[in-house]
Structures are given as C-alpha cells and as structure tokens.
Amino acid sequence: MKKPYRLAVPVFLSVFLLNHAQAADLSQKTNQLVNRMHAANREEIELSRLAVQHAKNVPVKDYAQHMASSHQEADEHLLAIVKQQGITLAPEPESDVHDTTEKMKQASGDDVDSTYIKAMTELHEKLLQQVRGAPDWLPAGGALAKFTQDQIPVLEHHLMLAKQIQTDLKEKKK
C-alpha cells in the first residue's frame, strides 16, 4: 500500500512552485506598469513645461500647465504607493520623448504647439492602452489597483482635451 504523504508532497510542491511562478509574473508585470506610469508622468511633465515656455496658442499653454500639474500630482501619489509597497523603480525611467523634446526646443510658434499636442495625444493613447487592463490582474482592493483605476478617466479626459486642441489647431491653419 502506498503511503498517502508520498502523493501529497509532489502535489504540494507543484502547487507551491506554480503559485511562486505566478507571484513572480505578477511582480514583474507590476514593476513594468509602475515604471511605465512613472516614466510617462516624467515625460509629460518635461514636455508640458517646455510647452508652457514656448507654445504660441493660449489653449496649448493652458493645457500644458494643466498637464504639468496633473502629472506631477499623479507621480507624487504613485511614488508614495511605490514606497509603501516596497516596489523598486528603475534608476532612470526610459524616455520615449527625447526626439520630441529636441524638436520642441528647436521649433517655434505653431510648430511647438502641434508637436506638443501630437506628443500628448500619442503618449496618452499609449499609456491608456497599458493602464486599462491593469485593474484586471492587479490584486483587488490594493492601493495600486485603486490608483490605476482612478487614473483611467483622468487620462481619458487628458486625451480628449488633446484631441480637441489638435482639431482646433488644424482648423486654425485652414
């Protein structure tokens, strides 16, 4: 007769290893999301500050000021959650906006406006794509899941404003 514990040990080990692998995958996904959100906030703050200084149109400047403030606040909240949960951020977040920053520094007037608004539209679309699915796999009820969920309508609003300004700028050129 086989002893029951001989079957239980391999089953227990299999379940333990599977749960450990799933936890590692969740941790990696969480770190990627947090680092991407932090990088996006930094990028939008950087571009928005440039736009505040160099944009020609008042609605673009106003939007840029709003983006700088909103993303600064969001990043501070995110960093507080990161600290509380012991999540490690990448030393320097990867930036997708170096070329845009350089283009904005060399451009003037309407070119600054259109470059900035185009970048804001693209950045918000990309970030929304990454953030929308996160509440489905983040641990429910956690601060990061709540923060991520709360950011979706904010980012959607930012995107809607950017698209409206982009449309207005195109109409103005006609």
In order, the DSSP letters of the chain are ---HHHHHHHHHHHHHHHHHHHHHHHHHHHHHHHHHHHHHHHHHHHHHHHHHHH--SHHHHHHHHHHHHHHHHHHHHHHHHHHHHTPPPPSS---S-HHHHHHHHH--THHHHHHHHHHHHHHHHHHHHHHHTHHHHSPTT-HHHHHHHHHHHHHHHHHHHHHHHHHHHHHHH-
Note whether residue 7 is domain-resident: no
Residue 52: predicted pLDDT: 95
- Mean pLDDT (the chain) is 83
What CATH number does the domain containing 41 carry? 1.20.1260.10
Residue 93: predicted pLDDT: 56
Ranges of the chain with pLDDT below 50: 11-25
- When divided into structural domains, the chain yields a total of 1
pLDDT in tens, 113-162: 999 999 999 999 999 998 888 877 787 778 998 999 999 999 999 999 99
Q: In terms of residue numbers, what domain contains 54?
A: 33-173
